[in-house]
Amino acid sequence: MTAAARVLELLTERGETLAVAESLTGGLVAAELTSVPGASRSFRGSVTAYATPLKRDLLGVDGALLAERGAVDPEVARQMAVGVRRALGTDWGMATTGVAGPDPQDGKPVGTVYVAVAGPDGAEKTAALRLNGGRADIRKESVRSVLALLSAELGKNARAQDTEQNGGT
């Protein structure tokens, strides 16, 4: 089972929905998700905010943060995930931002990537990646990483729900 299929299966089991905000991946996360038959049960849509002003205008990323740190930043990734969740009205949002190359961006070297997820009850997680390889490799690994991050969060959240339902601690 692919990572995308696993994420969609977990979301469907939970009756939850997902939206994606993408920068360096340019729609690859959404493409990976929609390649899975039945994805529409959980996946609602995506925003490809490649240009920095779109991160502010469509996703609600703090303009002062973007001006100070640039678009390649862990807090920007977190705010993108929160923003796409809000904008598309989903239970979960996930986001990618980073430098796929060939040149550095905002003082960050090629291969610097941040992925983030945001979900119900304040569930948020951001991961910093330092990836090697060419542009295609960096983008592909970014997709894999953000799906793995959400899968881990869904698994962790499910275990917490099971514990609560079973009266455990």
- The confidence score (pLDDT) of residue 94 equals 98
Q: What is the mean pLDDT of the chain?
A: 93
> Is residue 169 in some structural domain?
no
- Give me the pLDDT at residue 106, please: 87
Is residue 168 over pLDDT 50? no
Does residue 117 lie within any of the structural domains? Answer: yes
The pLDDT of residue 166 is above 70: no
Q: What is the mean pLDDT of residues 128-148?
A: 98
Residue 120 lies in a domain: yes
pLDDT band at 156 (very low <50, low <70, confident <90, very high): confident
In 14-157, the DSSP E strands lie at 18-22, 43-48, 92-98, 112-118, 124-130
Residue 163, pLDDT > 50, answer no
- Let me know if residue 37 belongs to a domain: yes
Nearest residue to 119 (alpha-carbon basis) of 144, 143, 95: 95
Average pLDDT over residues 46-67: 98
Q: Express as a percent the part of the chain with pLDDT over 70.
A: 92
Q: Which pairs count as long-range contacts for 121-127, CB under 8 Å and 24+ apart, including other chains?
A: 123/153, 123/157, 124/78, 124/81, 124/82, 125/149, 125/152, 125/153, 126/74, 126/75, 126/77, 126/78
The structural domain count of the chain equals 1
pLDDT band at residue 159, thresholds of 50, 70 and 90? low
Per the confidence metrics, is the pTM higher than 0.85?
yes
Question: The domain spanning residue 96 has which CATH number?
Answer: 3.90.950.20
For residue 143, being part of any structural domain is answered with: yes
| pLDDT recorded at residue 65 | 98
**Amino acid 3: pLDDT:** 96
* 161 pLDDT above the threshold of 70: no
Is residue 89 a part of any domain in this protein?
Answer: yes
| pLDDT tens digit sequence for 94-109 | 999 999 999 999 899 9
63 lies in some domain: yes
Average pLDDT over residues 133-159: 92
153 found inside a domain: yes
Q: Is residue 64 scored above 90 in pLDDT?
A: yes
Residue ranges making up the domain that contains 72: 3-164
